[in-house]
Amino acid sequence: MTNFTPTAADRFTFGLWTVGNVGRDPFGEPTRQPLSAPYIVRKLAELGASGINLHDNDLVPIDATAAERDKIVSDLKAALAETGLKVPMATTNLFGDPAFKDGAFTSADRRVRAYALQKTMRSMDLGAELGAKTYVFWGGREGTEVDAGGKLMDALAWFRESLNFLAEYSESQGYGYRFALEPKPNEPRADIFLPTVGSALGFIPTLDKPELFGVNPEFAHETMAGLSFPHAIAQALDAGKLFHIDLNDQKMGRFDQDLRFGAENIKGAFFTVMLLEDTGYSGPLHFDAHALRTEDEAGVWAFARGCMRTYLILKDKVAQFHADPEITAALEAYRVEDTELAALSKFSPENAEALKNREFDREALGVRGPGLEALDQMTIELLMGVRG
């Protein structure tokens, strides 16, 4: 039993835009003051995080001069050196500026696509300077409200062309980036291209260097699509493509809430932690969420502490789950193996023939109860703290 206080060894990270979120929404002005990047780094270090992630413009304003940029970057580097925090992931803001209102890499305007490449290369330079090894692409504006423009097929080709270019750029500079595509079904566009983890996994093999590309699934985004986050990350893990992860929470059928990890769907969070821990995922555990708009700065740090604490508590619950004899017995009873049938299930013409002629007691197969109600109730009771 621990006191659930995180340390750098837990690999928790936060985007500058997460704890730095000022509480603006489409209907209301900011409710909090902006926090400087060095201040965020020092606060997160105190709380036990291991690193920060950033968009170019979380750190450097889009219209900063070269001298301003260098000063901002050196102030951040000083805070990183002082605290030991790292910058494992970087990304580009390709959604905030009006130039990107109809897409960046998928804009129908060649000039916008070229500008998006320029902005991303500069941002990759910044990330590399700060030591980032993962580069995320969240295509927030890569989508449409109307399909009358007729670019559905072109948009995918333009996206591919840009990603191929940027992978070559990374290699030519020796940056060693691995790229992670972050899917989202909608918001801020009505329909965003590559809307789910499955879509991104289908797109990656069409790139020139698919080995450099994986996914950055976000709990809220799969939930917005009505899908299960644990199922999505299981598929990414199975494909060897879970390069990064955005942990948060979300009510289904809502706008992108980016809630504190585990705040809403505790069972989904539990099975997420179980998958990450059991499969030995070794990347950063990034919280892409923010404090509620109601909160002041104290609420921001309560939010950050809460994300990490909940992860550690759930990690402890995962260990309890595996060590629980009744749960282990129920899990064993759930699976039925048969060595003869396992052998027959390896294809050969003879096995196929034998299997076709095999007699099965179909009615008996339909009668067996797998015990999932009891197993799920044990899981719930474990999460509620009344087991063991």
Please report, as ranges, the residues that interact with ligand GLT according to CB under 6 A.
17, 55, 91, 136, 138, 182, 218, 246, 256, 288
* Residue 222 in contact with Mn ion, rule: CB under 5 A: no
- The set of residues, in sequence order, having a beta carbon less than 8 Å from that of 71 and lying 6+ positions away, is none
- The set of residues, in sequence order, having a beta carbon less than 8 Å from that of 145 and lying 6+ positions away, is 189, 190, 191
For the CB of residue 55, give the shortest distance to ligand GLT in the complex, in Å: 6
How many C-beta atoms surround the C-beta of residue 190 within 10 A? 12
Known binding-site residue numbers for Mg(2+): 182, 218, 221, 246, 256, 258, 288
In angstroms, the Cα distances linking 335 to 255, 283, 367, 368, 382 are 39, 31, 15, 12, 22
Is the separation of the CB atoms in 47 and 6 below 8 Å?
Answer: yes
* Residue 220 in contact with Mn ion, rule: CB under 5 A: yes
- The set of residues, in sequence order, having a beta carbon less than 8 Å from that of 186 and lying 6+ positions away, is 143, 192, 195, 224
Write out the two tokens for 39: 């201040």
Q: Which of the residues 55, 244, 286, 290 is marked catalytic?
A: 55
State which of positions 24-63 bind Mn ion (CB under 5 A). Answer: none
Of 102 and 222, nearer to ligand GLT (C-beta) is: 222
Dist CA 347 CA 178 (whole Å): 37
Of 41 and 245, nearer to ligand GLT (C-beta) is: 245
Question: Among ligand GLT, Mn ion, none, what does residue 142 contact (CB within 5–8 Å per kind)?
Answer: none
Binding Mn ion by CB under 5 A: which of 58, 102, 142, 256? 256
For the CB of residue 216, give the shortest distance to ligand GLT in the complex, in Å: 7
Binding Mn ion by CB under 5 A: which of 56, 58, 218, 264? 218
How many C-beta atoms surround the C-beta of residue 205 within 10 A? 9
For the CB of residue 35, give the shortest distance to ligand GLT in the complex, in Å: 16
In angstroms, the Cα distances linking 109 to 119, 121, 154 are 16, 19, 12
Of 94 and 382, nearer to ligand GLT (C-beta) is: 94
- Give the interface size with Mn ion as a residue count (CB under 5 A): 6
55 is catalytic: yes
* Residue 102 in contact with Mn ion, rule: CB under 5 A: no
Dist CA 241 CA 237 (whole Å): 6
What track of x and - describes contact with Mn ion for positions 168 through 207 (by CB under 5 A)?
----------------------------------------
249 is catalytic: no
Pairing verdict, β 191-192 and 143-144? antiparallel
Q: Which amino acid is at 7?
A: T
Of 260 and 317, nearer to ligand GLT (C-beta) is: 260
Write out the two tokens for 32: 């909090």
By beta carbon distance, the residue nearest ligand GLT is 138
For the CB of residue 137, give the shortest distance to Mn ion in the complex, in Å: 11
In angstroms, the Cα distances linking 73 to 57, 79, 80, 273 are 12, 10, 10, 34
Of 79 and 183, nearer to Mn ion (C-beta) is: 183
Pairing verdict, β 143-144 and 86-91? unpaired
For the CB of residue 258, give the shortest distance to ligand GLT in the complex, in Å: 6
Of 93 and 170, nearer to ligand GLT (C-beta) is: 93
* Residue 288 in contact with Mn ion, rule: CB under 5 A: yes
Catalytic residues: 55, 58
> Which stretches of the chain bind Mn ion, using CB under 5 A?
218, 220, 246, 256, 258, 288
